[in-house]
């Protein structure tokens, strides 16, 4: 019968445990058997504790190695799971930080765009000329009147203003509606309304433009472009 030590095996198969218990019970002149509760402690001792039949040695070794492999696999799985969770946590934190930064960058870009737009508007308005800054002439061409209008309003409002004037008078500052009495490039009705902008309302297109801008920028519309939107819907302003 071959002899092997069972020290180092955490748990043996049921068959091996039974065999060890039986052998220990009758060894050394009838020494009392080790009870079940003390078996694992005894198995860890350096002393040779049992004689195991050669045919069962492989079973004991296989059972122990299998349990060791299972324990190692479980530990590896737990470590891998913990590592994956930590990696996911770190990535989530990075993603959240990136999204926050992107949102802040967007807000900053919008703020800068609004500020630039305001600056452009202020620059445009600061360059607007008053009607009194134009020298009086005996007559004015369409190009002259258009040039005055461009100089007297923000650039982004001129096209809307022009759209209305084209349809009302064709830029003729002396245009008169024989049936209604509307007068000037704005076709003010009555034309004498434009006296509020200057006594020379009949002969000076700059005065007519001044009155027209005041009318369009009032609470009625707010701007030439708002007046043009109304005109498109109603064909009058």
Locus of tokens 């009032």: 218
| Positions of the chain with pLDDT lower than 50, given as ranges | 1-30, 34, 41-49
Residue 16 three-state SS:
helix
Query: pLDDT exceeding 70 applies to what percent of the chain?
Result: 71
Tell me the average pLDDT of the chain: 80
Locus of tokens 């955490």: 10
The CA-atom distances, in angstroms, between 194 and each of 108, 187, 188, 198 are 46, 10, 7, 7
pLDDT for the residue numbered 168: 96
Residue 89 three-state SS:
helix
In Å, how far from its chain's centre is CA 226?
Answer: 33
- Beta-carbon-side half-sphere exposure of residue 207 (alpha carbons within 13 Å): 20
Residue 167 three-state SS:
helix
Contact, 111 vs 190, CB < 8 A? Answer: no
pLDDT for the residue numbered 219: 82
Point out which residues pair with 176 in neighbouring strands: 183
Residue 108 three-state SS:
helix
Q: What is the pLDDT of residues 174-189, one digit of tens each?
A: 999 999 999 999 999 9
Q: Where are the domains of the chain?
A: 133-234
pLDDT for the residue numbered 107: 83
State the pTM of this model: 0.50
pLDDT for the residue numbered 36: 53
DSSP string of 60-87, one letter each residue? HHHHHHHHHHHHHHHHHHHHHHHHHHHH
**CA dist., res. 33 & res. 35, Å (int):** 6
Contact, 222 vs 149, CB < 8 A? Answer: no
pLDDT for the residue numbered 134: 92
DSSP H helices in the chain: 14-26, 39-43, 54-126, 142-151, 155-168, 205-217, 224-234
pLDDT for the residue numbered 126: 54
pLDDT for the residue numbered 63: 80
Q: Please state which of the four CATH numbers 3.40.50, 3.30.110, 2.60.200, 1.10.530 is assigned to the domain occupying 133-234.
A: 1.10.530
Q: What is the pLDDT of residues 50-68, one digit of tens each?
A: 566 666 767 777 888 888 8
pLDDT for the residue numbered 21: 44
pLDDT for the residue numbered 19: 44
Q: What is the pLDDT of residues 135-144, one digit of tens each?
A: 889 999 999 9
């Amino acid at each position: 019968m071959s002899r092997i030590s069972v020290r180092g095996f955490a748990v043996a198969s049921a068959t091996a445990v039974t065999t060890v218990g039986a052998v220990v019970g009758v060894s050394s002149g009838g020494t009392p058997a080790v009870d079940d509760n003390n078996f694992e402690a005894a198995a860890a001792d350096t002393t040779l504790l049992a004689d195991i039949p050669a045919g069962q040695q492989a079973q004991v070794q296989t059972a122990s190695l299998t349990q060791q492999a299972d324990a190692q696999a479980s530990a590896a799985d737990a470590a891998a799971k913990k590592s994956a969770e930590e990696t996911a946590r770190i990535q989530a934190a990075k993603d959240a930080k990136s999204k926050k930064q992107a949102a802040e960058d967007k807000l900053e870009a919008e703020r800068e765009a609004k500020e630039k737009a305001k600056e452009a508007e202020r620059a445009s308005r600061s360059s607007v000329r008053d009607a009194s800054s134009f020298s009086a002439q005996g007559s004015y061409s369409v190009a002259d009147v258009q040039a005055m209008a461009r100089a007297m309003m923000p650039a982004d409002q001129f096209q809307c203003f022009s759209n209305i004037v084209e349809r009302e008078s064709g830029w003729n500052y002396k245009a008169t509606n024989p049936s209604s009495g509307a007068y000037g490039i704005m076709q003010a009705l009555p034309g004498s309304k434009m006296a509020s902008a200057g006594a020379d309302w009949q002969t000076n297109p700059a005065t007519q433009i001044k009155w027209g801008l005041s009318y369009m920028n009032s609470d009625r519309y707010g701007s030439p472009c708002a007046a043009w939107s109304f005109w498109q819907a109603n064909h009058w302003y």
